[in-house]
Amino acid sequence: MSISGLVVHSTPEKAPGVKTQLTDIPGVEVHAAMDDGRMVVTVDQLDDKTSADILFKIKDLEGVVDTALVYNYFDQGSDSAKEELQ
């Protein structure tokens, strides 16, 4: 299990489109969006590699100016915990 907390900063005029693109990515949730284009986002995935791939994908979305990783938790856990998440 990998849970990451991010601040995603987009240009204000592109923020609605960025928010839509973010919510279209499985495991990504936008918790707050400010008028200046900043968004509080979490990425919840089964493994660190998938999570990292998504972080790079977010960084490359049109309208995204910057991303900041503010929290990351990773637990390999047991096979039963992985099955519960699937």
Predicted confidence (pLDDT) at residue 41 exceeds the cutoff of 80: yes
Domains of the chain as residue ranges with CATH: 2-75 (3.30.70.920)
Under the banding of pLDDT at 50, 70 and 90, the label for residue 78 is low
Tell me the whole-structure pTM to 2 decimals.
0.82
pLDDT at 85 over 90: no
Give me the residues paired with residue 14 across strands: none
Per-residue pLDDT at 65 = 97
Query: In 3D, which of 40, 51, 58, 54 has the Cα closest to residue 1?
Result: 51
Q: Taking the CB of residue 41, how many other CB atoms lie within 10 A of it?
A: 25
**Does pLDDT of 82 surpass 70?**
no
